[in-house]
Amino acid sequence: MTAFLDIDLGAVVANWRLLAGMTKGEAASVVKADAYGLGAARVAPALAAAGCTTFFTAHLAEAVALREILPDARILALNGVAPHSAAAFIAHRLIPVLGSLHDVEQWRAAAGRLERKLPAFLHLETGMNRLGLSVQELTVLREEPARLEGIVVDTVMTHLIAAEMPDDPRNRDQLARFLALAGQFPGAKRSIANSPGSFLGEAFHLDLIRPGAALYGLNTSPAQAQPMRPAVRLRAPILQIHDIQPGTSVGYGGAWTAQRLSRIATIGVGYADGLHRSLSNRGSAVFDDTPVPLVGRVSMDLSTFDVTDVPAKPGDLLTLLDPAHGPDALGREAQTIGYEILTSLGRRYERRYIDA
């Protein structure tokens, strides 16, 4: 029996509209990692129909796939221009985010071959120390402007390191550092706000906000009230129930032992489906509004729950994710974050999309 993953596209659209209504600039949508695990092929068109025109992916391959779905959207790939990839960007009308002098050179050379100007975003390094043009590289661009010949710098951007903590002074410091560096590119638009950054106030909105996780109902600013609508519900049917005696163990390694007469329900969801192994003996599901504990180790395809205190029977559904116990809550139980829960959801569920 298949587990059911319900994805509320109406909630995703409502979340984007809420964020778009907060800014005087543009609200893009980040749909990398297959729209955070929820299916870009369905999520992105719903957002485009709602009015979103700019979409971010991480990898070129994601951007190419998205172009097949959204022929008219502005689509960017965050991870730069790998060697020999410029032709694919151009063929599919994609815009790279250039984060190194190597990226800049790859894109400048492509513009030269075509003898026309090509648009790009520039990623400036302001504290994350992952991707982005360093201060030293920006100095090179300032002193050697020919390196940008043929490149139209549409927008300069950076990525906040502590936006989920609104009182962290590094947010204001990073904004000031970014604005100072962005001044090297007069006329270019500016973007700093990811999902939590969008809640830091108007000063951080600038010309473009780039929400991702918040679109999918995650609470990206735990210190604040969660204004986003939940977007997922995950339920799995009980495959079998075993009545076991006190002292009987369950699952690999006998990691849980019954202390009383117990009823153990098995569902067909395991770590291959995104139910993390770290939830062993600590996770939970819900049966008819009553929590039931996950007992024993989560295995690849199966997990087990103690349903002794509820009238569950084979074929009944256990709820693993719902508005009351969403990815953020399951992430805490798994000692991770809701982002990882969503992006780990496997492909074996029956996915059902709700449009409103």
pLDDT tens by residue, 282-299? 999 999 999 999 999 999
- The DSSP code for 229 is P
**Four-way CATH pick for 232-354: 2.40.37.10, 3.40.630.10, 3.30.420.40, 3.10.20.30:** 2.40.37.10
32 assigned to active site: yes
> Chain-centre distance of CA 337, in angstroms?
11
* CB-based contact 303:331 (threshold 8 Å): no
- CA 308, 312, 313, 315 dihedral sign is negative
- Catalytic hit among 117, 252, 349, 353: 252
Query: pTM value?
Result: 0.95
Nearest to 319 by CA among 277, 271, 347, 283: 283
Rounded Cα–Cα distance for residues 328 and 222 (Å): 10
Question: What interhelical angle do 40-50 and 60-69 show, nearest 10?
Answer: 60
117 assigned to active site: no
- In DSSP terms, which residues pair with 75 in a beta bridge? 55
Would you write out the chain's pLDDT as a tens digit for each of its 356 residues? Answer: 799 999 999 999 999 999 999 999 999 999 999 999 999 999 999 999 999 999 999 999 999 999 999 999 999 999 999 999 999 999 999 999 999 999 999 999 999 999 999 999 999 999 999 999 999 999 999 999 999 999 999 999 999 999 999 999 999 999 999 999 999 999 999 999 999 999 999 999 999 999 999 999 999 988 777 789 999 999 999 999 999 999 999 999 999 999 999 999 999 999 999 999 999 999 999 999 999 999 999 999 999 999 999 999 999 999 999 999 999 999 999 999 999 999 999 999 999 999 86
- Catalytic hit among 32, 36, 216, 271: 32
Q: CA–CA distance from 165 to each of 72, 168, 208, 219 (Å)?
A: 36, 6, 21, 12
Which residues make up the CATH 2.40.37.10 domain(s) of the chain?
232-354
- CATH number assigned to the domain covering 9-216: 3.20.20.10
